[in-house]
Amino acid sequence: MSLIEEFKQSIKSPDTEEKLDLVFYRPFGFAIAKVAKFLHMTPTQLTLIGMFLGVYGGLLFYDRDNTLHLIFACVLFVLSGVFDSSDGQLARMTKKSSKIGLVLDGICDNVVFGAAYLASSAALIPIYGHSIFIIAVVAGVGHSFQSAVLDFYHREYLYFGYGKTDGDYYNPSVEEARFETIHGATRSERLMAKLRLNWIRQQHLLSSRSDKERLQMKAIVTGNNPVLRDRFCEAYRKHNLKMLSWWRLNGTNFHTICIIFFTFMRRFDLYLIIVDIFVLNIAMIFIRKLQRHQDEKLFNEFGIK
């Protein structure tokens, strides 16, 4: 297999990739994944390395008056994103993805951004006092919601747009039943399973689709009518491809760019208040309405109620 073909197989789908990912994060992530595969490393190990780099970089944002430290912090923050890309690429290359790995990936993202929020907010205590942490927490919760809903629609696009239904581990009722049947698991394994279940609940709560509607969609793509399945997948891509571009406003790349920009302006407070709390949360509500409009057109086409 050529490197180009191997690279193509290491990404989810060109439709679900941002341009910045395709020209920067994925190529560098692929290189790291290739080295990691040679060294027999696991995706989880790459996730943890990325988290360490991101947390270290995030904490360096505290020294906001030292430009050299801020540059180094930004480099580490971006490098963390490269490792965040490489873990998924390695998982697809080695076919060693796991449900726990998916949860850990989301947790590490929150930890990395949490470190940046904590350090950058601590640097603002002389100006705002400790009340700045209240603003940071509100912004951080909004950030978590934004990341969750983007991840949901990316995954849904692969599932319903391309019929990648190897395993549907994202149905709240199914996962709740599975969680209740966990026996003999260690405390850490039950904790990870609980975190995963809460993540899934959060995503479905924020989505524009009810569980009933999603089950009807699932019945089409997993049914025994290949003609209907192909027609549905094509229609899903048509109705949702442009929506992904809107949802990406809530993604890691946009957050990272804004954090770096406002950090060098020495106005992280404006990032928290204007970008995270107001602009992106309002955008999330508006995009959800657009998404529901697209969903209803798709549902009407296929008699989903």
State the pLDDT at residue 75. Answer: 96
Q: Quick one: residue 9, left, alpha or beta (phi over 0 = left, psi -120 to 50 = alpha)?
A: alpha
pLDDT at residue number 176: 53
67-90 pLDDT, tens digit per residue, is 999 999 999 999 999 999 999 899
Cα separation, 61 vs 263, in Å, equals: 8
Nearest to 268 by CA among 136, 137, 112, 77: 136
What is the DSSP code (8-state) at residue 223?
S
Q: Which residue numbers in the chain have pLDDT < 50?
A: none
User: DSSP string spanning 152-202?
Assistant: HHHHHIIIIIS---S-----HHHHHHHHHT--S--HHHHHHHHHHHHHHHH
Q: State pLDDT tens for residues 92-119.
A: 888 776 656 666 676 788 899 999 999 9
The count of other CB atoms within 10 Å of the CB of residue 167 is 8
What CATH fold (topology level) applies to the domain 3-302?
A: Four Helix Bundle (Hemerythrin (Met), subunit A) (1.20.120)
pLDDT of residue 188: 66
pLDDT value of position 119: 96
Give the separation between CA 21 and CA 39, rounded to whole angstroms. 25
pLDDT value at position 125?
96
Q: What's residue 107's pLDDT?
A: 77
The pLDDT, as a whole number, for residue 97 is: 65
CB-based contact 139:116 (threshold 8 Å): no
Cβ–Cβ under 8 Å, residues 199 and 192: no
The pTM for the full model equals 0.85
pLDDT value at position 155?
Answer: 86
